[in-house]
Amino acid sequence: MKKILFIAAMACMASACQNTPKTPAIDVTNMDLTVAPNVDFYQYATGGWQAKNPLKPEYSRYGAFDVIGENNQKRINELFQEMSKLDAAKGSVEQKISDLYKMGLDSARLNAEGAAPIQSKLGELLAISDRSQLTAAIADLHHSVGNPFFGVGVESDLMNSNMNALYISQSGLGMGTRDYYVDESNAEIKKAYGEMLARLFRLAGLEQAEQAAADVVSLETRMAEKMWSNVELRNIVAQYNPMSKADFEKTYDAIDWPTYYKAMGIGDFDTIIVTTPSAVANVNELLKTASLDELRYYLAAQYVTAAASYLSDEFQQASFDFFGKVMSGQQEMKPRWKRAMSVPNGTLGEAVGEMYVAKYFPAKDKERMLALVKNLQTALSEHIAALDWMSDATKAKAQEKLSTFTVKIGYPDKWKDYSTLEIDPSKSYWENIVNASAWYTADNIAKLGKPVDRDEWHMTPQTVNAYYNPTTNEICFPAAILQPPFYNPEADDAVNYGAIGVVIGHEMTHGFDDQGRQFDKD
């Protein structure tokens, strides 16, 4: 279940993309003063920066976010290397981070293991001989690997945002979005996807690799045909379809739901919210009518593609050649240290974040940001008051919502507890990833029926981004985005309002866009 967050996606601005806190706030060499701004403003504003920053082979785009991201990766890598030198106590976050990092770096071990870490589970999936076995297999993958056929998770109830509810949503396409399957303009990408699946199946030792891949693509195409488009998924109201537990189980009867709930650790509940009813109904029908070969090959494909990035170089290359090169336009895989670092950075994100802010984010920056946000709230309030097309009643509601924004800056007031998450270097890298995924699933399911924790963060402090969350009416700016060119502690306010002010305003207006406007101040 995807969290409804409205996230910044900003391009490089005219202010210096490579500033350090000690450099000038505006670097005119990033501009192209040979071009008149009324002829080509983009070239005028960013031409110098573009010339100095050609697209790197490991990227499919490169801008201000990516520059900061590069700097952040170096910072985090330094933290990890320092940790790796310590004799960390077993069970400490330092031990978990450093061991997970080392496993990702250990190419010799990964290549020696080959497909061994996935053979047992893959064998179980390929041995499915009866539809009655599908529920347990789906639940097992949902619990620790991915979301084949559909996704189930706990989020705040859209009509009672103080409480958490259970949701079921469309999911399970290997290429993510329906258009890759149903739009003829994507035929070559779809062909390449099938070739990647066959390649992974061969690496895993499957004799009928080509036929298995063809079956998977065929089944996923039939799933995609009834899935909601990206445009339809912007209609939040249409996605709120609560059903009683009894009606839900009767309507979508291809799954043995009591068995599924038990395997997932889902306790008692009265209502489940179906976000995409027609897509879930289609999957329900396919689970009854698709051939058993298609179904088990599909589950095997979901498992192998999820595991590929944590296995040998051959698996990683096969995955990258499709997802990186074909789908994203990257020419080279990121270096191993970046790939290895991203895993503990995500898996133990807030533990890394706590270390990150202690070293890189002074309290004075948080105080200044709070003042910046407050001033921009005032400016937006004045703008709303001056509108001639909005009624007084609507203005009052807008002002009420704006004035009650929760503002989160830098890092959470309380940190996530990872004490029960085990990282064991005696197990394979993939097995540790599976166990971590299961830990997060249990953490999510445990929220069912409980009040929403409004102090929880949905990005880590070291994430270079920002978000607006409509169900809590909050705007959040992690520590990592609060560095040049977005925020420069050495620059005056004019520069910072022109840079991080754009990001702040971007997130504020999400509260009033086509989706945000569906939610009130609460």
Q: How far is CA 408 from CA 346, 457, 513, in A?
A: 20, 8, 20
pTM: 0.93
Per-residue pLDDT in tens (0 to 9) along the chain, 522 residues? 556 666 654 433 333 334 444 556 788 999 999 999 999 999 999 999 999 999 999 999 999 889 999 999 999 999 998 888 888 999 999 999 999 999 999 999 999 999 999 999 999 999 999 999 999 999 999 999 999 999 999 999 999 999 999 999 999 999 999 999 999 999 999 999 999 999 999 999 999 999 999 999 999 999 999 999 999 999 999 999 999 999 999 999 999 999 999 999 999 999 999 999 999 999 999 999 999 999 999 999 999 999 999 999 999 999 999 999 999 999 999 999 999 999 999 999 999 999 999 999 998 999 999 999 999 999 999 999 999 999 999 999 999 999 999 999 999 999 999 999 999 999 999 999 999 999 999 999 999 999 999 999 999 999 999 999 999 999 999 999 999 889 998 888 899 999 999 999 999 999 999 999 999 999
Contact (Cβ atoms closer than 8 angstroms) between residue 234 and residue 470? no
What three-state secondary structure class fits 449? coil
| Every domain of the chain and the residues it spans | 6-104+347-518, 115-310
| Sign (positive or negative) of CA dihedral 341, 347, 349, 351 | negative
CB atoms near residue 467 (< 10 Å): 22
What element of type H or E holds 150?
Answer: strand 150-157
Q: For residue 476, what are the β-bridge partners?
A: 408, 467
Q: Can you list the positions of beta strands (E) in 2-148?
A: 6-7
**CA 495, CA 26: separation in Å to the nearest integer?**
8
Question: Could you tell me the two tokens for 329?
Answer: 């336009």
Q: Can you list the positions of beta strands (E) in 218-282?
A: 242-244, 271-274
Contact (Cβ atoms closer than 8 angstroms) between residue 20 and residue 484? yes
CB atoms near residue 215 (< 10 Å): 22
**CATH number of the domain located at residue range(s) 115-310 in this protein:** 1.10.1380.10
**CA 406, CA 522: separation in Å to the nearest integer?**
10
**CA 366, CA 496: separation in Å to the nearest integer?**
14
Chain CA centroid to CA 65, Å: 16
Q: How far is CA 64 from CA 67, 368, 509, in A?
A: 5, 21, 21
| Sign (positive or negative) of CA dihedral 206, 207, 209, 211 | negative
**Kind of pairing between the strands at 474-478 and 150-157:** unpaired
Contact (Cβ atoms closer than 8 angstroms) between residue 519 and residue 471? yes
Contact (Cβ atoms closer than 8 angstroms) between residue 44 and residue 35? yes
What element of type H or E holds 67?
Answer: helix 64-84
Opening angle at CA 351, ends 346 and 356, nearest 5? 90
DSSP character string of 378-426: HHHHHHHHT-SSS-HHHHHHHHHHHHT-EEEEES-SS----TT----TT
Helix 93-105 vs helix 336-347: angle between axes, to the nearest 10 degrees? 150
pLDDT digits (tens, 9 = 90+) for 359-404: 999 989 999 999 999 999 999 999 999 999 999 999 999 999 999 9
pLDDT of 22: 55
**CATH number of the domain located at residue range(s) 6-104+347-518 in this protein:** 3.40.390
Q: Residue 24: is the preceding peptide bond cis (ω within 30°)?
A: no
> What amino acid is encoded at 195 in this protein?
E
Contact (Cβ atoms closer than 8 angstroms) between residue 272 and residue 449? no
Q: How far apart are the first and last CA of the chain?
A: 21
CB atoms near residue 506 (< 10 Å): 17
